Amino acid sequence: MLKGCWGIYIASFVFQFLMTVLTVFTSFLAKVLVDALSHELERAEFLESWVIQFLSRGQGAEYIYQHMAILPVSVLISALVTVAISYFRFSLRANASSRINKQMQLVLFRHLEKLPFSVFKTEKSGDLIQTCTRDVDVLRQFLVMFLSQITYTIFIVVLCFSILFEISWKLTLVSLAMFPIMFVYSFFLIKEVRNRFRKTDDSEAELVDAITQNLNGVRLVKAFNAETREIDRFERRLNHYSSAFRREKRLSAFFFSSSDIFIFASRSVAIVYAIYLVFKGEITSGSVFVSYTFVNMMVWPLRNTATNLSRLGQTLAATDRIQRLLDIVPEDLEEGESIQAQGNIEFRNVSFAYPDEPEKIVINDVSFRVPKGSTVAIMGKTGSGKSTLFQLLTGLYQPTKGSILLDDKDISTISLRSLRHNVVPVLQDPFLFSKSISENIKIANKDASDDDIRNAARIASLDQAIESFSEGYDTAVGEKGVTLSGGQKQRLAIARTVHSGAPVLLFDDSLSAVDAQTDLAIRRELKALGSRCTTLIITHRVSTAKDADYIYVLEKGKIAEMGTNEELLKGKGLYARVAEIQSAMR
């Protein structure tokens, strides 16, 4: 997390130490000034005597009495130097904070991008967003603010304690008597604060998840007049979050206010006992002033540190969530062989069950071959395992049994990066980036020329629609392609995939939103690509499947039928029944 900013990070603590030393020294100069005004410099302790000798250039207290202006000028100079060092310290800390935040979010985003597909099926997007934003900010504040507070407290306590102890060990012990009690008091609140913060954090993650889902499904919400219902659901979650937030803040407020008792008690005891020692003649008047000042300088950082210790629970909870995400093993995209596939595909006795439902067999002993350059249609009822075949072929999941071969090589031996470069899918509900049409197509090939982009759009039968737009290929598609129709989004995704130049193209019901005429035009263009690519098409339309070189019909995870359109129509299986039904509906 501190990669690239260790130097600045450590330098901020060095400047903090220098600032603390000068702050304490400035306050101590005020003691010398009070003693000089009281003509008590002759009773000075060792450290004060050293300061007197330094300021008087070895001439002693008499010189100070004769040149009293030396002391306020010294205080002023010391304060100005402290201010300058403090400025550099805060500048360094702000720089380190910015770099730490950048590094942490970059680490998490890189990790998220490399996680297996299965993780995103089980994890809520709201939880992931919460971890990468608020939890990161909590940890950043710990590294920058909390650790800075701790080190400042250590510096100030050690320096003030040492000087007070040199002035009067009795006064020192009495002044610090309340501090151990305050720390013990804070320690017992940490666990409960941590629990309450985790509940608040989880509740907030649910809020983020609810907002994300509603933004993604805004069309569905409006289509079913579900605005009121979604508002009510969100309000219930918001009430739960508000309740958890109030419980957390009430405990924090209770600690913050109750700890003031220890502060005021420490200051009162210190000043009363210091006055008592003055009357006994054990310390000077300046010692009363400096003891009160030093106790005040120590007690607030100590209280803040104690408060931060109670907030340590928040940091631990946030760290737990971040660590849990980082502990998920990412995909290794580079391990394996890098190939340039020809397009021969073979499934050998492939079986598969999803990891979260191992007892439910989705693909059961499936075997078939697809020669390079051919077009294969896959049909079947919903839930028969069609899309799962594509997920296995692109390496999103690994077969439970059997093997999948690409050009006679088991895809488990091919690097995922190379596999996904050679096997590219088009999904039924494609995702489009909030960019222009040309930029969405170029995602598949950044070095594409304008002619390449137009050719891909022509193959997808999208070129005429694009030319009808006022801005043509520069038309912004909006978030997730909201400005395009369903068919236009599918055709844009097809153009993007064709433009990739991959030897294997997978169409997961990707022509469902286009009309029959456009469907036919796209299939003809794909057929015209000839031996350049192997095409697998999942479809529910017989009109789409009939021109394929071969058709496989899945039922309950098994291949129930296989053959050409003519062969399957002669049978009395599912394909023939579907063809009869669709023919009757025309």
pLDDT digits (tens, 9 = 90+) for 405-440: 999 899 999 998 899 888 888 876 677 777 788 887
Supply the mean pLDDT for the chain: 82
Mean pLDDT of 503-510: 83
What confidence category does residue 513 fall into, taking pLDDT thresholds of 50, 70 and 90?
Answer: low
What confidence category does residue 222 fall into, taking pLDDT thresholds of 50, 70 and 90?
Answer: low
**Domain 345-584 class?**
alpha beta
Secondary structure, 3-state, 365-404: EEEEEECCCCEEEEEECCCCCHHHHHHHHCCCCCCCEEEE
Q: How far apart are CA 534 and CA 423, in angstroms?
A: 9
Whether 389 contacts 585, CB under 8 Å = no
Question: What does the pLDDT read at residue 65?
Answer: 85
Nearest alpha carbon to residue 234 among 212, 261, 262: 212
Percentage of the residues of the chain whose pLDDT score is greater than 70: 91
Domain ranges of the chain: 6-326, 345-584
pLDDT in tens, 288-319: 888 878 877 887 787 777 667 666 777 888 88
Question: What does the pLDDT read at residue 345?
Answer: 92
DSSP state of 362: S
Question: What does the pLDDT read at residue 306?
Answer: 65
pLDDT in tens, 67-101: 888 888 888 998 899 999 999 988 988 888 888 88
Nearest alpha carbon to residue 419 among 397, 443, 452: 397
Q: How far apart are CA 359 and CA 399, in angstroms?
A: 14
Mean pLDDT of 231-257: 82
Question: What does the pLDDT read at residue 220?
Answer: 65
User: Which residues neighbour 139 within 8 Å (Cβ) at sequence distance 6 or greater?
Assistant: 1, 104, 315, 318, 319, 322
Mean pLDDT of 487-494: 79
Q: CA separation (Å) from 113 to 109, 110, 236, 419?
A: 6, 5, 32, 17
Q: How far apart are CA 569 and CA 318, in angstroms?
A: 61
Question: Does residue 282 or residue 224 have the better pLDDT?
Answer: 282
Question: What does the pLDDT read at residue 424?
Answer: 85
460 — phi, psi (to 5°)?
Answer: -85, 10
What confidence category does residue 570 fall into, taking pLDDT thresholds of 50, 70 and 90?
Answer: confident
512-548 b/e (C-beta count within 10 Å ≥ 16 → b): bbbeeebbbbbbebbeeeeeebbbbbbbbbbbbbbbb
Mean pLDDT comparison of 336-350, 423-437, 460-474, highest-scoring range: 336-350
Q: Which fold has domain 6-326?
A: ABC transporter transmembrane region fold (1.20.1560)
Question: What does the pLDDT read at residue 363?
Answer: 92
What confidence category does residue 190 fall into, taking pLDDT thresholds of 50, 70 and 90?
Answer: low
Question: What does the pLDDT read at residue 273?
Answer: 82
Mean pLDDT of 204-223: 72
Question: What does the pLDDT read at residue 478?
Answer: 67
Beta bridge partners of 424: 505
Mean pLDDT of 378-390: 87
Name the residue with tokens 């197509």: 441
Q: How far apart are CA 348 and CA 1, in angstroms?
A: 45
On whether the pTM is more than 0.75, the answer is no
Mean pLDDT comparison of 1-15, 366-380, 535-549, highest-scoring range: 366-380
6-326 matches 345-584 in fold: no
Q: Is the pLDDT of residue 576 over 70?
A: yes
Cβ of 585: how many Cβ atoms within 10 Å?
Answer: 6
What confidence category does residue 488 fall into, taking pLDDT thresholds of 50, 70 and 90?
Answer: confident
Question: What does the pLDDT read at residue 56?
Answer: 84
Q: How far apart are CA 78 and CA 56, in angstroms?
A: 16
Q: How far apart are CA 84 and CA 381, in angstroms?
A: 75
Question: What does the pLDDT read at residue 350?
Answer: 93
Question: Which tokens is 444 given?
Answer: 């598949």
